[in-house]
């Protein structure tokens, strides 16, 4: 998707069906929320220079990355968005349904995020193909981007660091750190502007 975003309209429905069919029992089968899953995310979060007020986890699945951010940044309002209703239902089951609460989840497509421009100061995605245009659109000037592959190049939606660096730089996002932690890899960038 990072190289050919125009294919997404063809892939959207099969992708949604694929993940919806697997939402039940996802955490147990994949280890979501476990140490291996979250280690590179924790390493990336340490590179965020300023505690964010609003965080978005794109392609949040069952919400384990979103809940990590809620623990890591206790002052932040944290949102998770995912294409699959079943994944969102599994995430909501962990925190309850409160769309205005500190932690909330909703169904939405990363290719057309259901959020206004400049609305988050940290936008993250974990084990998800990046939709660069939208990630940057919803980011405030000076805000941070995190892209994590929990199992490095073995991650099904792995995107090469060079491609992340280049595609974000084209949109005004400077790399802060590109690294590895545990079995995974991470990219942290910062959008120009802000104070």
Nearest Cα neighbor of 22 from 87, 100, 104, 67 is: 87
Q: Is residue 52 at the binding interface for ligand SAM, with CB under 6 A as the rule?
A: no
Applying CB under 6 A, among 68, 78, 127, 130 the residue interacting with ligand SAM is 127
58 touches 132 (CB < 8 A): no
Alpha carbon distance 162, 31 (integer Å): 28
**Contact letters for ligand SAM, residues 149-188 (x by CB under 6 A):** ----------------------------------------
Q: Is residue 82 at the binding interface for ligand SAM, with CB under 6 A as the rule?
A: yes
- Using the rule CB under 6 A, give the single segment among 44-52, 125-133, 159-167, 177-185 that binds ligand SAM: 125-133
Q: Regarding beta strands 103-107 and 77-82, do their DSSP bridges make them parallel or antiparallel, or are they unpaired?
A: parallel
> 45 or 60: whose CB is closer to ligand SAM?
60
Tokens of 163: 């491609």
Alpha carbon distance 175, 131 (integer Å): 17
> 55 or 126: whose CB is closer to ligand SAM?
126
Check the CA dihedral 7-190-187-43 and report its sign.
Answer: negative
Q: Where are the beta strands (DSSP E) in the chain?
A: 54-58, 77-82, 103-107, 120-126, 139-149, 173-181, 184-191
146 touches 179 (CB < 8 A): no
Applying CB under 6 A, among 59, 130, 143, 184 the residue interacting with ligand SAM is 59
Q: Is residue 83 at the binding interface for ligand SAM, with CB under 6 A as the rule?
A: yes
- Using the rule CB under 6 A, give the single segment among 78-86, 89-97, 168-176, 178-186 that binds ligand SAM: 78-86
DSSP for 182-193? TTEEEEEEEES-
Residue 194 CB, nearest distance to ligand SAM (Å)? 26
Residue 67 CB, nearest distance to ligand SAM (Å)? 10
> 12 or 50: whose CB is closer to ligand SAM?
12
Nearest Cα neighbor of 164 from 131, 121, 115, 137 is: 131
Q: Is residue 88 at the binding interface for ligand SAM, with CB under 6 A as the rule?
A: no
Q: Is residue 128 at the binding interface for ligand SAM, with CB under 6 A as the rule?
A: yes
Applying CB under 6 A, which residues contact ligand SAM?
Answer: 15, 19, 32, 59-61, 64-65, 82-84, 87, 109-111, 126-128
């Amino acid at each position: 998707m990072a190289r050919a975003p125009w294919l997404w309209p063809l892939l959207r429905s099969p992708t949604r069906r694929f993940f919806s069919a697997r939402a039940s029992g996802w955490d147990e089968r994949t280890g979501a929320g476990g140490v291996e899953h979250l280690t590179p995310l924790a390493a990336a979060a340490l590179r965020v220079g300023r505690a964010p007020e609003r965080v978005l986890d794109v392609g949040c699945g069952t919400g384990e990355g979103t809940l990590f951010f809620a623990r890591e940044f206790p002052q932040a309002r944290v949102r998770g968005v995912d294409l699959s209703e079943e994944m969102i239902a599994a995430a909501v089951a962990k925190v309850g349904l409160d769309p205005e609460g500190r932690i909330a989840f909703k169904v939405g497509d990363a290719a057309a995020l259901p959020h206004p421009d400049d609305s988050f100061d940290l936008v993250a995605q974990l084990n998800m193909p990046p939709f660069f245009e939208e990630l940057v659109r919803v980011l405030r000037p000076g805000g941070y981007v995190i892209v994590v592959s929990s199992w490095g190049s073995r991650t099904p939606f792995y995107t090469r660091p060079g491609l992340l660096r280049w595609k974000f730089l084209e949109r005004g996002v400077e790399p802060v750190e590109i690294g590895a932690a545990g079995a995974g890899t991470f990219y942290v960038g910062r959008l120009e502007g802000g104070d």
